[in-house]
Amino acid sequence: MTGKTVGIVGGGITGLALAHYLDRHDVDVALFEATPDPGGVIRSGRVDGSVVEWGPQRVRRTDRIDGLIGDLDLESEVRTAAPDLPVCVYADGDLHPAPFSPSAFASTDLLSAEAKREVLAEPFTEPASPDETAAELFARKFGAETYRKLLGPLFGGIYGSDPAEMPVGHALSGLVALERRDGSLLKTAIGRTAGGRDAPPAISFDDGLQRLPEALADAHADAVRLGTPVTAVRERVGVDEPGGPTYELETAEGSTAVEQVVLTTRADLTADLLADLASASVGSLRELTYNPFATAYLRADLEGEGEVDPAALGYQVGFDADLRTLGASWNASMFDRDVYSVFLGGMHDPEVLDESDDRIGEIAAAEFETVTGAPAEVVDVHRLERGFPAYDDSWAALDRVDTPTGVRLATNYTARMGVPSRIREAASLAEELADS
Ligand SMILES: Cc1cc2nc3c(=O)[nH]c(=O)nc-3n(C[C@H](O)[C@H](O)[C@H](O)COP(=O)(O)OP(=O)(O)OC[C@H]3O[C@@H](n4cnc5c(N)ncnc54)[C@H](O)[C@@H]3O)c2cc1C
């Protein structure tokens, strides 16, 4: 061990993966998780015998996730979706696979001939500006029809946000960099398909995705304290120990001295923890908004009773369709289960959370049948008042967030949100902390 200790607040996937990689670098860790269970927003369980995912539905098996599966000996529990499953969009009363390859684009009936011409003209449009919204960018570069039927629902659906409220500078900085590199977004997309850089397969585990954080917490049980909320992060004072611990993490059990602190907590909770240490940033952190969600879990037989091809990841609903559903994840088809997850709410329709669970289930089941032709039985309804980071105008507040040396934020609102990205950030941060 290096003799220094990194204190990690939060035992979601970011904190636990960071603990794992720091251990690989022989750095001591003290990780505190407020709840009794590891995983944070990754929560899986069984309702009437069916596996339900109350958080993320699937992850891409990137090289890093592949490495964790090997390190934790989880291979025998992995469920892998068939390769190259499309995500679909529901528009004009039908489901259409998103046409992201040149041949699919040429043959799709999702887009009119005029809309296709507008897409092909993208290389002649002005480059993205950080000050326009994602909606303005997509409509200006690819045409209004392609925005409303395809790009808006797919991009907004990732966060449950309205692209008309998402500034490019915050929500699409990665895409802007790719445009700068390739000269056009269409070229980037064609380069990806032609270069064979298809997405790694979607996976889950027999008992759901929470198996991954659970296995990480078990593997590092000595360093992980579950059910132990950190109540404050303070600078150590009055200790004459040059080069020694700089911060203290306070919990009901006492305080733990650490050299470095990594906070992986939601923005409002991070604000509470930094009240003493970075008081000027507290208000800005509290400004960041999250989108509320309701998820209905439906038992349905798409193979037997549906009118659509069940070989897909699921669908997002086009902006012109008259449905309250945002989208659905077809976990049953992907992972040989029997429950489909249907999402409602988000920035477009936060009022749906005012409805009762029974009503939310009813809406989800009726609309699922409209889209797929298959009747559905409601198994469970789950609410997240603060679900996805919205990446909207409130993200301007992030520019005013500053933490003292030795205190870092590793979170899905300061960097990318998907589980593979969280794990990638944990790995690179571990390297940086081990070298510091
Ligand atoms: C509904 C939903 C669906 C998603 N779907 C997908 C998907 O299909 N695929 C995908 O790749 N990604 C998906 N994501 C994104 C991804 O799941 C999250 O970004 C990621 O899991 C966040 O992990 P984290 O560890 O950074 O944060 P969190 O999971 O929020 O972990 C933070 C942890 O900190 C703990 N904590 C809070 N306060 C304290 C305190 N005072 N002391 C100690 N601990 C504290 C919390 O209890 C929590 O466990 C989804 C997210 C949501 C919300």
Q: State pLDDT tens for residues 150-204.
A: 999 999 888 899 999 999 988 888 888 888 898 898 888 776 655 445 689 999 9
Distance 264 CA to ligand 1 centre (A): 9
For 346: left if phi > 0, alpha if psi spans -120 to 50, otherwise beta; the answer is left
Atom of ligand 1 nearest to the CA of 39: 49
Distance 330 CA to ligand 1 centre (A): 21
Distance 40 CA to ligand 1 centre (A): 5
Distance 369 CA to ligand 1 centre (A): 31
Is the predicted pLDDT of residue 343 greater than 80, yes or no?
Answer: yes
Residue 287: its pLDDT value, please? Answer: 97
Distance 12 CA to ligand 1 centre (A): 5
Cβ 412 under 6 angstroms from ligand 1: yes
Atom of ligand 1 nearest to the CA of 32: 43
Is the predicted pLDDT of residue 339 greater than 90, yes or no?
Answer: yes
Cβ 55 under 6 angstroms from ligand 1: yes
Cβ 32 under 6 angstroms from ligand 1: yes
Q: What is the mean pLDDT of residues 346-358?
A: 96
Is the predicted pLDDT of residue 326 greater than 90, yes or no?
Answer: yes
Say how far residue 303 (Cα) sits from the centre of its chain.
28
Cβ 208 under 6 angstroms from ligand 1: no
State the average pLDDT for the chain: 93
Distance 176 CA to ligand 1 centre (A): 26
Cβ 261 under 6 angstroms from ligand 1: no
Cβ 419 under 6 angstroms from ligand 1: yes
Alpha-carbon distance 389 to 291, whole Å?
Answer: 6
Instruction: Give domain limits for the chain.
Output: 5-78+207-288+392-435, 99-194, 290-389
Query: b/e map of 302-317 (b: 16 or more CB within 10 Å)?
Result: beeebebebbbbbbbb
3-state SS, one letter per residue, for the chain: CCCCEEEEECCEHHHHHHHHHHHHCCCEEEEECCCCCCECCCCEEEECCEEEECCCCCEECCHHHHHHHHHCCCHHHEEECCCCCCEEEEECCEEEECCCCHHHHHHCCCCCHHHHHHHHCHHHCCCCCCCCEHHHHHHHHHCHHHHHHHHHHHHHHHHCCCHHHCEHHHHCHHHHHHHHHHCCHHHHHHHHHHCCCCCCCEEEECCCCCHHHHHHHHHCCCCEECCCCCCEEEECCCCCCCCCCCEEEEECCEEEEECEEEECCCHHHHHHHCCCCCHHHHHHHHHCCEEEEEEEEEEECHHHHCCCCCCCCEEEECCCCCCCEEEEECHHHHHCCCEEEEEEECCCCHHHHHCCHHHHHHHHHHHHHHHHCCCEEEEEEEEEEEEEECCCHHHHHHHHCCCCCCEEECCCCCCCCCHHHHHHHHHHHHHHHHHC
The answer to which of 105-119, 228-242, 339-353 has the lowest mean pLDDT is: 228-242
Nearest CA to ligand 1 atom 5: 56
Is the predicted pLDDT of residue 111 greater than 70, yes or no?
Answer: yes
Residue 242: its pLDDT value, please? Answer: 63
Q: Which CATH class, in words, describes the domain spanning 99-194?
A: mainly alpha
Mutate to test the pocket of ligand 1, among 65, 265, 295, 423 (most ligand atoms within 8 A of CB): 265
Distance 419 CA to ligand 1 centre (A): 9
Residue 193: its pLDDT value, please? Answer: 59
Q: Which of 86, 138, 89 is nearest to 111 (CA)?
A: 89
Q: For residue range 237-247, what is the model confidence (pLDDT) as tens digits?
A: 766 566 667 99
Partnered with residue 260 across adjacent β-strands are 6
Q: Under CATH, which number does the domain 5-78+207-288+392-435 receive? A: 3.50.50.60
With bands split at pLDDT 50, 70 and 90, how would you rate the model's confidence at 386? very high
Distance 57 CA to ligand 1 centre (A): 13
Partnered with residue 99 across adjacent β-strands are none
- Which superfamily does 290-389 belong to? Protoporphyrinogen oxidase, mitochondrial; domain 2 (3.90.660.20)
Question: Taking a C-beta distance cutoff of 8 angstroms, is the pair 163, 155 a contact?
Answer: yes
Distance 53 CA to ligand 1 centre (A): 13
Atom of ligand 1 nearest to the CA of 387: 53
Nearest CA to ligand 1 atom 3: 56
Atom of ligand 1 nearest to the CA of 389: 53
Q: Which of 316, 335, 333 is nearest to 325 (CA)?
A: 316
Helix 211-219 and helix 63-71, axial crossing angle in degrees, nearest 10: 50
pTM metric for this prediction:
0.95
| Residue 269 φ then ψ, to 5° | -75, -35
Nearest CA to ligand 1 atom 6: 56
Residue 375: its pLDDT value, please? Answer: 96
Distance 92 CA to ligand 1 centre (A): 35
Atom of ligand 1 nearest to the CA of 35: 47
Q: What is the mean pLDDT of residues 53-78?
A: 97
Q: What is the mean pLDDT of residues 367-385?
A: 97
The answer to which of 59-68, 94-103, 372-381 has the lowest mean pLDDT is: 94-103
Atom of ligand 1 nearest to the CA of 410: 26
Nearest CA to ligand 1 atom 35: 10
Alpha-carbon distance 200 to 188, whole Å?
Answer: 18
Residues near 27 by beta carbon (within 8 Å), at least 6 away in sequence: 1, 2, 4, 5, 6, 430, 433, 434
Q: What is the mean pLDDT of residues 246-266?
A: 96
Cβ 40 under 6 angstroms from ligand 1: yes
Residue 173: its pLDDT value, please? Answer: 84
Is the predicted pLDDT of residue 98 greater than 90, yes or no?
Answer: yes
Distance 42 CA to ligand 1 centre (A): 6
Residues near 194 by beta carbon (within 8 Å), at least 6 away in sequence: 102
Q: For residue range 412-424, what is the model confidence (pLDDT) as tens digits?
A: 999 999 999 999 9
Q: What is the mean pLDDT of residues 371-395?
A: 95
Nearest CA to ligand 1 atom 19: 417
